[in-house]
Amino acid sequence: MKLVRFLMKLNNETVTIELKNGCIVHGTITGVDMQMNTHLKTVKMTMRNRDPTTLDSLSIRGNTVRYFVLPDALPLDTLLVDDAPKPKGRKKEDARGRGRGGRGADRGRGGRGGGGGRGGGGRGRGRGF
């Protein structure tokens, strides 16, 4: 299971997030998207060497997160169960007949040995050696 899929299940959990710039954010998750952008409510944000600030809501861009501190009471074994639907595998019969062809005589136009194309020999319009 991808980390983001796990984080997306943490709605209404209170977490602490440390950002790459050293800021520490404590709040309740309202949502996490596929880019790991995290939306929080009732937030206490502590910038480095500053007093804490209280906010009603905050959105954090995913690539600015250093790590999440999860609550101790979180049931990890149930949250880590992979319940995403598996993509169905294609049968071999369906895979044939796609693409532009493979081996075989008379494919292509140029090259050595008279490969078809306009004008016969496939040697271009240069001098006829």
**What is the mean pLDDT of the segment spanning 78-87?**
79
Q: What pLDDT digit, counting tens, does each position of 8-22 carry?
A: 999 999 999 999 999
Q: Tell me, what amino acid is at 13? A: E
The answer to whether position 112 is within a domain reads no
- Residues 123, 127: Cα–Cα separation, whole Å: 9
Name the percent of the chain in helix, strand, coil, to the closest 5: 15, 30, 60
**What is the mean pLDDT of the segment spanning 18-34?**
96
Residue with tokens 């409510």: 41
The answer to whether position 84 is within a domain reads no
* Paired strand residues for 69: 16
Q: Which stretches of the chain are DSSP H helices? A: 3-8, 76-79, 92-95
The answer to whether position 113 is within a domain reads no
- Residues 39, 17: Cα–Cα separation, whole Å: 11
Predicted confidence at residue 83, as pLDDT, reads: 76
Share of the chain above pLDDT 90, in %: 49
Torsion of CA 64, 70, 75, 79, to 10 degrees: 0
The answer to whether position 7 is within a domain reads yes
The answer to whether position 107 is within a domain reads no
Domain that holds residue 18: 3-71
The answer to whether position 104 is within a domain reads no
Q: What is the CATH number for 37?
A: 2.30.30.100
- Residues 61, 45: Cα–Cα separation, whole Å: 15
pTM over 0.75: no
Number of domains in the chain: 1
For residue 102, how many other CB atoms are within 10 A of its CB?
6
The answer to whether position 127 is within a domain reads no
The answer to whether position 24 is within a domain reads yes
